[in-house]
Structure 1
């Protein structure tokens, strides 16, 4: 009963803004009731403070990681821009194996060495020259666009070529290289080699 009265007095004093006047005996009893819980509350508060500190530390580390990744992403975008440009202007592709033959402009109407009577699909006159822009003219499969520049290696010799022609038998990885005459084409024959796009 006395503890109830003490509690009521304490509540009334607090609401009135007056410091409570608790008798010494009552204070002793309250202290005895609070003491066992006080150490538990203190240890809980310390544990919670440790958890909060640990969480703040983890949050700070994550924020640093996010900033690092943002910087990395930003710098990689800057670094990859030139390579995209290179691809658009024609980066080299890996080497691929291919089969290579040769053809030549006919010297008379009885020779059927090529369609078009010595004129390529792109209008080059092979009677005058078998090169275009300094590159050897080749007939390539339709998947490779006209004016694509190639590097061809056959028998250890490397030539630079440009796609300016097509042919009925020219498909997959088969190419026909324009040469000046029948003798050169016959000597070249049919050979295996490799090729890649350079531009």
Structure 2
């Protein structure tokens, strides 16, 4: 049996130990490698799964983004529609206001026309009937113009002197020289109560003519109506009683314009 020195024995043991260590280390390295590879594979699978989830989420986000864009477009369209409807509403409200104003204006015009018709029915036509009843009696007695009649009322003259120059409140109406408003024609002429010819005129001696109540304003008097000027009183009428004056005018439109109104009156002479 060979003998080994301590040195050789130490070398042998050291070599064996190194082989064992290397073998063990190799096994450990291999096990670690396998373990690491398994972990890497596990991580790779997890990454793949995560990528799949990410792609799915991205797809959902893309779909949601498209939905959001669609909703935003729909909202924009609805906003535009709302603005259009509000504009139409504003236009309709303005049109309604204009129509209401027009209706109010028409109702006002209607009321004015009704007032004029009522005034004509109550004022203009009533004197026609009364004048036509009275005038034939006077004309039969005095066919020509009768200046003396205008001066033949002594009692009213006294009243004139008492009220001359003082302003008094009167009701003013109007009539025309149409035969239908003056009891027809006499000898082809339209005459006043006192016999003056007014067939083609509304003046006498350059003055406008009025019909009065002789007990208040004597016939032949010159009368001033505030806002209208001076007139001569040479006509009467059955409906002309008290503080009331009927102005002779040249047209129905002027008669309608005057209607029935209040005015201040004074006797000049």
- TM-score interval for Structure 1 and Structure 2 normalised by the shorter chain: 0.3 to 0.5
Q: Which has the larger radius of gyration?
A: 2
Structure (1/2) with the larger helix percentage? 2
More strand by share: 1
Work out which structure has the larger RCO, using CA pairs closer than 8 Å and 6 or more positions apart in sequence: 1
Structure 1 length-normalised TM? 0.48
